[in-house]
Amino acid sequence: MVPSTLRTYCLSVAMVTTFAWSAAAAEFAGGTGEPADPYRIATVEQLLSIGDDPNLLGRHYLLINDLDLDPDLPGGRVFDGAVIAHDGQPDAAPYPSFFGRFYGDGHVIRNLTIRTETLQYLGLFGAVGAAGRIYDLRVENASIEGPGRIGILAGSSEGSIVNCHVDGTIRTADESNWVGGLVGTNAGGISDCHAAVTLTAGDRSFQLGGLVGVHRGRIVNSRATGDIAGGRTSFDLGGLAGACIGGSIENSHATGHVTALKGSWSLGGLAGSADSGAWVVFCRAAGSVTGSDACRDLGGLVGHLRGEASNGYATGSVTAGDDSYNLGGLLGSLLGGTVSNGYAAGPIAGGSGSRSLGGLIGRVHTGGSVANCYATGPLMQAGVPHGRGGLIGAVDGTQRIDVARSFWDRQASGASQSAAGVGLTTEQMHDVETFRTARWDLAGARSDGTADIWRMPVDGGYPQLTAFDDPNDLHALEGTGTSHDPYRIATPEDLGAVGRYSRYAWYRLVADIDMGGITWARAPIPVLRGYFNGNGRRITNLTIEGTGTNDCGLFGRIESGAWVYDLGLDDLSIVAADSITNVGGVAGTNTGYVVGCYVTGTIAAGSGGLAVGGIAGSNRQGIVADSYATAVVSAIAAETRVGGLVGFNYTGTVSGCYATGRVMNAGAGRYAGPLVGRDLQFSRIAASYFLAPAVGVPDNGLGIPLTDGQMRRQASFVGWNFTRTWAICEDQTYPRLRWEPSPCDP
């Protein structure tokens, strides 16, 4: 909402909605268009005057009346393009775009009608640029017909859309694409928005969604309730998003039905497809997903997943006709992606000749990982019980596929077989001991982790995801997650709660935390895209007995642009399962920044480990600086990259660091080193050292060796800042980070 000062209106014209379709710019109802004094829009004429005027597209606006664009009103008309910034061509980025601010202030624009056979970028706004912002606006009873790149609010957006609501209908012809109820193509941010739009497309249409057609930005706290219908051989249809080409969908849901005709593929109750750069977290879908004959990759939540889906569920039915395949209650198919902490409860039904039907997933392809999931829905083929696929219909093979601690209800599903997973009776599925034994993170049980992901219903039933509890009584963090007011972490419960909050937020450790008595089965913080300020504090006795294939460390992955700094990990113990690929004290994989951190303890990779290191397993285009590790690091497989600080430094930078811990590889591997196991592809190691002679592995030339005596002298560390970053007790101690207590003998 806009500041209250913007609600004081000194209007010099009557506040009456009128139609005067003049091509000339209208006088606004006050304001100067500046941030503190936006133009006031009181009439349709004033709204239309923005048009494509380059002098107006970057200004600020405040809607102060509801407006009606009904073409049946006197002077009304059907538009042949977007109302604002409409000069878009189908095969090029649209110009112009709206890059100002539009404050709807809770008002409504009704009865927008657009009809065209040629133009694209259709909606109230044709295109919203990266600097554009739209707030608190409602668009009701809109009707749009066109060839593609359509959204009732905007044809495309690279900016931010907040608290906007649309309803109406969209119809497209054959071979249409990039159509969403709210926005056609989204590369920006959408939060707290709702679309109730019925979308009907012709044959060979693709990337159609109830909220967004094609998505590569960020969607948060949003929902879609309209139905999506595609013609023959259509693909990427989703109740919320058609296709996620990167980007994220967080804390959102869809309830609309998704249907397509013969030969269609990638249909999902929430998203049609999500590629390897996409992630779907804390989301749910309730609408049915229905295909005709010869359809494939239909899922209650996502049709085809290559990225990440976690903490989500689907309850809608998944149905297809004859000769269809890859039908799943949660996912149609999974290729190289990960699914964790999810469930599916809807029925799955295929026609004659259908195959790969699964209560949770239709087919898992190479590289797929499934952990802590279950399915309960019945499976039918050609009208009779299918008898198999209780959890997963088919797997491509056992190589690089991991299904762990996941179950299906044999009685409820009618399936006695599954390509993977464990079948249980209904009674066992309702028994908390089943999931306690499987080391699920259960609310009220501190020893298995403090994330409290699952809860057993008090009155009996299957496990439920606590994130969707209403009211939600989960442990809450203090702070707002901004740079000025970070979420504050002071207890093991605070640390466990981080995974339920935004990956983009700011966090600050405000007390030392002892994690003794708690054994995690995964990284306590699976992914970070924001900032974690260790604040010169320590986390002690963190124990992880990792399972699955996810990256393993305090953080699973530190993503590009994320920071972890000024943090100490003492007496860490990580033992990773054979299927886990990257293992490190601070992070399994780092593509961001790790600065001013240290790790002590032991870190061990399993037989399938790709990389293991004291600070990071893999450092991929990331930076590890001004940090050290004394941890004992070990691996089993000969091909594992093992390093005292970093296992695999791939196009990354290691600067101003040292390692002194023992490095061991039982397989006598080629890629083991006292500082870095392997360095590849334009990587850089600068002013970084290790204790020589190294125990367990030879010097591989990555880093500079120092003897014990040299490690205790400041002069050995060329270029290091011993005024602000490091401290040393000359001839007594190895360098310590200046924020650490480091008393020297007098």
Residue with tokens 């159609």: 208
Considering the domain architecture, whether residues 438 and 519 belong to the same structural domain is answered as no
Per residue, the 3-state secondary structure of 40-85, as one string, reads EECCHHHHHCCCCCCCCCCCEEEECCCEECCCCCCCCCCECCCCEC
Q: Are 219 and 249 in contact (CB under 8 A)?
A: yes
Query: Residue 12: is its pLDDT beyond 60?
Result: no
> Over the chain, what is the mean pLDDT?
93
Structure confidence at residue 698 as a pLDDT band (50, 70, 90): confident
Mean pLDDT, residues 427-450 = 94
Bridge partners (DSSP) listed for residue 545: 575
DSSP state of 701: S
Q: Is 108 helix (H, G, I), strand (E, B) or coil?
A: strand
Number of domains observed in the structure of the chain:
2
Residues 584, 439 within the same domain? no
Residue 367 pLDDT: 86
- Domain termination residue (choose one: 443, 468, 493): 468
Computed on alpha carbons and rounded to an integer, the radius of gyration of the chain in Å comes to: 28
Whole-model pTM: value is 0.92
Q: Give per-residue pLDDT as tens, 264-319.
A: 999 999 999 999 999 999 999 999 999 999 999 999 999 999 999 999 999 999 99
**Average of per-residue pLDDT across 613-631:** 98
Query: What domain range is 451 assigned to?
Result: 434-468
- Check whether residue 527 and residue 574 sit in a common domain: yes
pLDDT of residue 374 exceeding 80: yes
CATH label of the domain that carries residue 607: 2.160.20.110
Tokens linked to 669: 């591997």
Give the DSSP letter string of 155-177.
EEESSEEES-EEEEEEEEEEEEE
Does 535 lie in the same domain as 455? no
pLDDT given for residue 320 in this prediction = 98
pLDDT(6) > 50: no
SS3 1: coil
| pLDDT at residue 163, as a whole number | 98
Same domain, residue pair 551 and 625: yes
pLDDT for 89: 60
The pLDDT score that the predictor gives to residue 90 is 55
The pLDDT score that the predictor gives to residue 153 is 98
The answer as to whether 444 is a domain residue is yes
Q: Each residue of 72-120: pLDDT tens digit?
A: 998 789 999 999 998 656 555 556 899 999 999 999 999 999 999 988 9
Note the pLDDT tens digit of each residue in 313-369: 999 999 999 999 999 999 999 999 999 999 999 999 999 999 999 999 999 998 899
525 and 658 inside one domain: yes
Does some domain include residue 320? no
pLDDT in tens, 558-581: 999 999 999 999 999 999 988 899
Q: Are residues 450 and 580 in the same domain?
A: no
Q: Is residue 326 part of a domain?
A: no
Same domain, 648 and 541: yes
φ, ψ for residue 425 (rounded to 5)?
A: -75, 165
Q: Are residues 517 and 448 in the same domain?
A: no
Whether residue 204 has pLDDT greater than 90? yes
Considering the chain, what percentage of its residues have pLDDT values greater than 90?
86
Instruction: Give mean pLDDT, residues 598-602.
Output: 98
Provide the 10 A C-beta neighbour count for residue 652.
25
Does residue 75 form part of some domain?
no
Q: Stretch 496-505: mean pLDDT, rounded?
A: 95
439 and 572, same domain (yes or no): no
- 319 falls within a domain: no
701 occurs within a structural domain: yes
Sign of CA dihedral 731, 734, 739, 742: negative
Tokens standing for residue 601? 């303890």
Q: Is residue 693 part of a domain?
A: yes
The answer to the question of residue 520 being in a domain is yes
Average pLDDT for residues 170-186, to the nearest whole number? Answer: 96
The per-residue pLDDT for 26 is 60
Provide the pLDDT confidence category of residue 398 given band limits of 50, 70 and 90.
Answer: low
Same domain, 589 and 460: no
> Tokens for 685?
């190691």
Are residues 550 and 441 located together in one domain of the fold? no
Q: Please name the residue that has the structure tokens 């008090």.
A: 458
CA distance 63 to 580: 54
